[in-house]
Amino acid sequence: MLIRKHDALSGSDIRSSEITPKEKWLNRRSFITAAAATGAVALGTGRLREILSPSSSVQAAGKLDTVKSPLSTTGEELTSFQDITHYNNFYEFGVDKSAPSQNAGALPTRPWSIKASGLVKTPKTFDIDTLLKLRPLEDRTYRFRCVEGWSMVVPWVGYSLSELIKECDPLPSAKFVQFISYFDKKVEKWQSQSQIFWPYSEGLRMDEAMNPLTLLTMGLYGDVLPNQDGAPVRIIVPWKYGFKSAKSIVQIKFLDKQPPTTWNDLAANEYGFYSNVNPNVDHPRWSQKTERRIGQPFYAQRHPTLMFNGYGDFVAAMYKGMDLRKYY
């Protein structure tokens, strides 16, 4: 193992060859990334997770204390940290996929809080540091499928959104949840590159939001969430197209009717409110039957797209009797 415990390091009987060079130790994140990229197949994901969440006795700044989760997806090669952080749709920071990695440094992630309002007993505000400690943080690897036709496999860190919703005390009349992202024209100078009505807004039906798979996400690869991936807190809804998973959330509203959502407002025929991953319902401009896995060579990139992105066992029951062609 690369990372050693403090007590081991302080001992005098270690051979110098066993001590990790400081430079390497400081660069362990890139080592982990490289290991994830190259070693995922060889090592298998179980062993990999051990590498990704090493013993918590060595704590670096930003490193999160995490536990395993039975809801984590196994048997998939993880997309590299490099690709997850350099291929982003975060239009507040530019429309190019590489723009958020260059520009999102401007996002002020501290202090940060989420305001919970609408149909709740009493409106509450949750500070990010409270959120980080509210429940044990879990390693949750999920497939991530973008409506544009590309996909990744991402080791997120967080806990079920339902845990936060319970703390919010929504009224029985609350049927939908709306997520509103951070927006500041002065910070996010690149917002004018698209004609989106800011702030970014997304929403879920209450049962979707309460589904244990829906993740309140605060980390990536065992570390705090990089800005370009929606720091400091976002949601991840793994069975829906990526745009449903709003980034950098500042407000959660509980409502009795379906909230307006950004891409649906812009082009309702292309981006439905539900937007469940569905290989049988084409996007008007392209087929959704297959997807391009990010980070793989061009001749091996294409994979079949799975119904509900492969999470049907957990979520299909919520849509029983619904015409998914109509409610795409």
Partner 1 sequence: MNKPALITLKVLTWIACLYPLAILIYGAVTNNLGPDPTGRIEFATGNTALNLLVISLAITPLRQLWSRLSWLIKFRRLLGLFAFFYASIHLMAYVGLYAYFDPNTIVQDIAKRRFITAGVTAWLLLVPLALTSTTGSIRRLGGKRWNQLHKLVYVSVCLGLLHYWWQVKTGVLAPLWITLIMAALFLARPVLGWWKAKRVKTLSA
109 binds partner 1 (CB under 8 A): no
Binder of partner 1 out of 102, 167, 292, 318 (CB under 8 A): 292
Of 214, 293, 285, give the one whose Cα is nearest residue 246: 214
Site string for partner 1, 133-152 (x = CB under 8 A): ---------------x-x--
294 binds partner 1 (CB under 8 A): yes
Binder of partner 1 out of 65, 76, 77, 83 (CB under 8 A): 83
Q: How many CB atoms lie within 10 A of CB 306?
A: 17
Site string for partner 1, 159-198 (x = CB under 8 A): ----------------------------------xxxx--
With a CB cutoff of 8 Å and minimum separation 6, the contacts of 254 are: 116, 117, 118, 119, 120, 168, 170, 171, 174, 176, 177, 178
Select 53 or 201, whichever has its Cβ closest to partner 1. Answer: 201
CA distance 265 to 261: 6
| Residues 217, 234 contacting (CB under 8 angstroms) | yes
Residue 180 token pair: 């509103």
CA distance 14 to 5: 12
Select 122 or 269, whichever has its Cβ closest to partner 1. Answer: 269
302 binds partner 1 (CB under 8 A): yes
306 binds partner 1 (CB under 8 A): no
Q: Specify the amino acid at residue 312.
A: G
Site string for partner 1, 242-281 (x = CB under 8 A): ------------------------xx--x-----------
Q: Among all chains, which residue has been given the structure tokens 């973008």?
A: 146
Element (H, E) at 34: helix 28-52
Q: Which residues bind partner 1 (CB under 8 A)?
A: 83, 86-87, 95, 97, 148, 150, 193-196, 266-267, 270, 282, 284-287, 290, 292, 294-299, 301-302
